[in-house]
Amino acid sequence: MASIGIDLIAAAQHLKNGDCVGIPTETVYGLAANALDANACLKIFEIKERPTFDPLIVHVKDIAEIEKYVSVFPNQAKLLFERFSPGPITVVLPKKSIIPDIVTSGLDTVGMRIPNHTLTQQLLNSLDFPLAAPSANPFGYVSPTQAQHVNAQLGQKIKYILDGGECKVGIESTIVGFENNHPVIYRLGGLTIEEIEHVIGSCKVQLNNSSNPVAPGQIASHYAPKKKLVLVDSLQDAQIDVTKKVGAIVYKSYSDKIEKKNQLILTPGNNLQEAGKNLFNFLRKIDELDVDIVYAEKVPNDGIGKAINDRLFRASTK
Ligand code: TXA
Ligand code: MG
């Protein structure tokens, strides 16, 4: 298994050697490598068993760093970074040739992000290269929100995981790009549509799926646990399969239709932020429940609730 700790020097050394390291961010843990080293980035794809057509996000410490890697930096993109960075937003911009093609899957744009986590900020400050990092999970599975999640699945394949505790947001960054100078949201995430539109005006929302090749990572079946997950509007009205052992992920209170020990409550405090923080951990936990089917209840479709429902939908699509 990998070593887990807070040794920034060890983490930096592995990265300088061209190896991959698990890193914490406010959204989910990433599997990081030197973004300027094509061979190091190739290892990310191998370790995750990720198809090379699915581009990686490049993480940097501040806005000045972004200038080094993008050839066009529109004012609206700057405004977003100034307002929300470090924070859960990725902006897709035309790339400079210093970013290897493998990072962007051959696209001429690159997703740039400034993560909000003290340890990873310190790590980035100690390096003279940016970090390419997808979520640190096998391709298609649930994203990790704790160092132990990374270790459980990728620990055999990497040497070090920087332990930054539990991720505070728990849902990946929101991805924004520009088409004909107009902003487009490609992935719902930790930052809400409203927060983004408040800064740059109305955005087109074009969530990616298999028929939309711009960001192939957003295929319908993603974030999927091994267990069969059925998404319902409300458990109260849902038709439960009584011939099977069932469990549930519920929003704020237990349903009397299912045994309590098989239910996980996303937010007893009725708080969408808390629900987001628990979501991926619960999607992992259901794989350990002694049940055949898990029902998941949609959360209120406001703010970050839209991103939570998006992940629940993808997790329930096989
Ligand atoms: O919160 C996050 O963004 C986390 C942490 C680790 O930073 N990272 C993450 O990476 O979620 P990943 O690889 O799981 O998702 C990256 C997605 C790709 O699947 C793709 O949809 C989109 O970002 N993407 C990356 N580069 C792109 C580009 N040039 N154009 C369009 N979409 C891009
Ligand atoms: Mg991912």
* pLDDT, tens digit, 9 for 90 and up, residues 160-185: 999 999 999 999 999 999 999 999 99
Q: What parts of the chain have a pLDDT lower than 70?
A: 208-222, 318
Tell me what pLDDT residue 215 has: 52
Nearest ligand 1 atom to the CA of 110 is: 29
Question: Looking at ligand 1, which residue's alpha carbon is closest to its atom 10?
Answer: 134
Nearest ligand 1 atom to the CA of 214 is: 31
Question: Looking at ligand 1, which residue's alpha carbon is closest to its atom 6?
Answer: 30
Tell me what pLDDT residue 151 has: 98
Tell me what pLDDT residue 11 has: 98
Tell me what pLDDT residue 212 has: 46
Tell me what pLDDT residue 216 has: 47
Tell me what pLDDT residue 206 has: 93
pLDDT digits (tens, 9 = 90+) for 54-96: 999 999 999 999 999 999 999 999 999 999 999 999 999 999 9
Which residues, judged by CB distance below 6 Å to any ligand atom, belong to the binding site of ligand 1?
25, 27-28, 30, 54-57, 90, 92, 104, 107, 109-111, 113, 115, 133-135, 172-173, 175, 186-187, 208, 214-215, 217-218
Query: For the residues of the chain, what is the DSSP string, one character each?
Result: --EEE--HHHHHHHHHTT--EEE--SSS-EEEEETT-HHHHHHHHHHHT--TTSPPEEE-SSHHHHHHHBS---HHHHHHHHHH-SSSEEEEEEBPTTS-HHHHTT-SEEEEE----HHHHHHHHT-SS-EE--BSSSTTSPPP-SHHHHHHHHTTT-SEEE---S-SS-SPPEEEEEETTEEEEEE--SS-HHHHHHHH---EE----TT-TTSGGG-SS-S--SSEEEEES-TTTS---TTS-EEEEESSS--TTS-GGGEEES-TT--HHHHHHHHHHHHHHGGGSS-SEEEEEPPPSSTTHHHHHHHHHHHH--
- Residues around ligand 2, an ion, CB closer than 5 A: 135
